[in-house]
Structure formats: C-alpha cells, structure tokens
Amino acid sequence: MENKQELIESLLERATEYGKASYELVKLKTLDKTSDFVSSFIPHFIVIILTGSFILFFNLGLAFWLGEILGKTCYGFFAVAAFYGIAGFVMHFFMHKWLKKLFCNYIIKKLLK
C-alpha cells in the first residue's frame, strides 16, 4: 500500500513539474513572439514617421508652387487635395482588398515567425 502511495506522490510531483515547465515554456514563447513583433515594429514606425514628414513638407511645397503657377495659393492646395481625393477613391474601391490581404499576411507572418 505504501508503495502505491509513493508511486502516486511521485506521479503527482512529476505532473506538477511538467505543468510548471509547460507554463514557463508558454511564457517564454509569448515573450519571444512579442519582442520580435515589437522590435520589428519600431524601425518601421520610425520610417513611417520620417516618410510622413517628407510627404507633408513635399505636399506643402507643391501646393505653394502650384498656387504661384495658378495665380492664387488656395488653388494649389485645391489641386493637391483633388489629387489625394482621387487617389483615395481609387485605393478604396479598387485596391482595398489587396492592401488588406497584404497587411494581414505581413502581420501573420511576423507573429508566426
């Protein structure tokens, strides 16, 4: 009887150790995936900020330049806004599914890496 009790206690200890090890493994895998995702996101975020700043100042310069050519500054801003309105319309109606699939695949690939 004592032998069975020792066997059950040994089995329970091993199961507890296995559970703790499995929990630690899940924590470490989660930490690895999170750190990989965040570490790849930060450089992309910096590039997006710098590119956005470039585009902003480029568009301001373009709008002022077109305004001089067209005779009034506001006409240059209207021309730039019209370009972005048309581009947004095309993107929304013709490229929305493609862009969504592209970004979803990128995020899934990063998370499963």
Per-residue pLDDT of the chain (113 residues; tens, 9 = 90+): 577 788 888 888 888 999 899 999 998 888 888 887 777 778 888 999 999 999 999 999 999 999 999 999 999 999 999 999 999 898 888 887 888 888 888 877 777 76
CB 10, CB 3: distance < 8 Å = no
For residue 35 the two structure tokens come to: 């750190």
User: In angstroms, rounded to a whole number, what is the distance separating the alpha carbons of residues 43 and 102?
Assistant: 19
For residue 25 the two structure tokens come to: 């493994």
Q: Which helix (H) or strand (E) holds 51?
A: helix 2-70
For residue 84 the two structure tokens come to: 């972005």
Q: How many CB atoms neighbour CB 75 within 10 A?
A: 15
